[in-house]
Amino acid sequence: MLAVGAFALAACEQKKPAAPEAASTAPVAATPALTLPVSINAVMVSLVDHSSDPIFDVATKPPRTDDAWRDVEYHSYQMAVAGKLIQLAGTGPGDAAWVATPEWKAFSEQLSAHGMEALKLAQAKDAKGFEAVGNKIIDDCEACHMKFKPDIPSMKIMHKPDFPHKPGT
């Protein structure tokens, strides 16, 4: 085994470029950019929108059990992560152009930061605090939609009316 290992090592040595100085300045092969396997349209509906409704509900219908608070905590994690995820392009026709703009990045970062604020409130079971954070999150949705959202979703994926979310039913 040792001999094989030594041989393999020797083979590797031989593959070294003849002129290491020149090789070190050569461009490194680019790693393919990380992309989402679905469209941003799909992420909007299944993750961003889906986690936002229960967060918006907290101020008016405060959770009454530890389990219900845990749900709000998980939805807040989802929102915080979604704001980062949507900075990656997916399979939608507009995705790559959107994520390349500084405005998109700024809106997404805000969404993630407000998801983190919601998370802290959920962990403190502070229902009152959700009124302010809910408003901030709605502002994030609207600001970005006003600038970027096409009238008809590019992949025709919509939250409503195909899925009228009614929490708890």
CA 21, CA 90: separation in Å to the nearest integer? 39
Determine contact, residues 83/109, Cβ cutoff 8 Å.
yes
Q: Tell me how far, at minimum, the Cβ of 133 lies from ligand HEC, in Å.
A: 11
Residue 112 in the binding site for ligand HEC (CB under 6 A):
no
Which of the ranges 5-13, 37-45, 61-69, 120-128 carries the binding residues for ligand HEC, by CB under 6 A? 37-45
Tell whether residue 80 is a contact of ligand HEC (CB under 6 A).
no
| Polymer length in residues for the chain | 169
60 alpha carbon, distance to own chain's centre: 27
Cβ proximity to ligand HEC: between 23 and 132 the closer is 132
Tell me whether residue 49 or residue 126 sits nearer to ligand HEC (CB atom).
Answer: 49
Residue 151 DSSP label: S
Contact 75, 55 (CB under 8 A): yes
Closest C-alpha to 91, from 47, 41, 17: 41
The answer to whether 130 contacts ligand HEC (rule: CB under 6 A) is: no
State the residues that interact with ligand HEC by CB under 6 A. Answer: 39-41, 44-45, 48-49, 52, 86, 92, 94, 98, 104, 107-108, 111, 137, 140-141, 144-145, 148-150, 153-155, 158-159
